[in-house]
Amino acid sequence: DVKVTQSSRYLVKRTGEKVFLECVQDMDHENMFWYRQDPGLGLRLIYFSYDVKMKEKGDIPEGYSVSREKKERFSLILESASTNQTSMYLCASSYDGELFFGEGSRLTVL
């Protein structure tokens, strides 16, 4: 079975802190994605990557950056967390278009 692992299920951070969300997949997938999910807004794409060291902006990249130094790992970085970044963050990897999601990281910014 494909496994996508997110490092933290729940995080609480303060405004202005730097936040790292880590995601690792074990199926050698080329493509990896970061989404955030908010009530009434659904899943929105933040960034994606289709190869090591490659990254593309999604629909809402502002306030975020990403890193893909190794094929299996895709990190989401909040340089200076703000309260409007309180959300559920979902990482996914894909093969032939089908997404495999991690369990999600619920981030609260106080």
- Tally of helices (H runs) and strands (E runs) in the chain: 0, 12
Q: Which of 26, 28, 79, 103 binds another protein (CB under 8 A)?
A: 103
Please, which residue, 84 or 97, has the CB nearer to another protein?
A: 97
* Residue 31 makes contact with another protein by CB under 8 A: yes
Q: How far is the CB of 16 from another protein (least distance, A)?
A: 29
* Residue 64 makes contact with another protein by CB under 8 A: no
Q: What is the C-alpha to C-alpha distance for residues 85 and 25, in angstroms, rounded to an integer?
A: 24
* Residue 107 makes contact with another protein by CB under 8 A: no
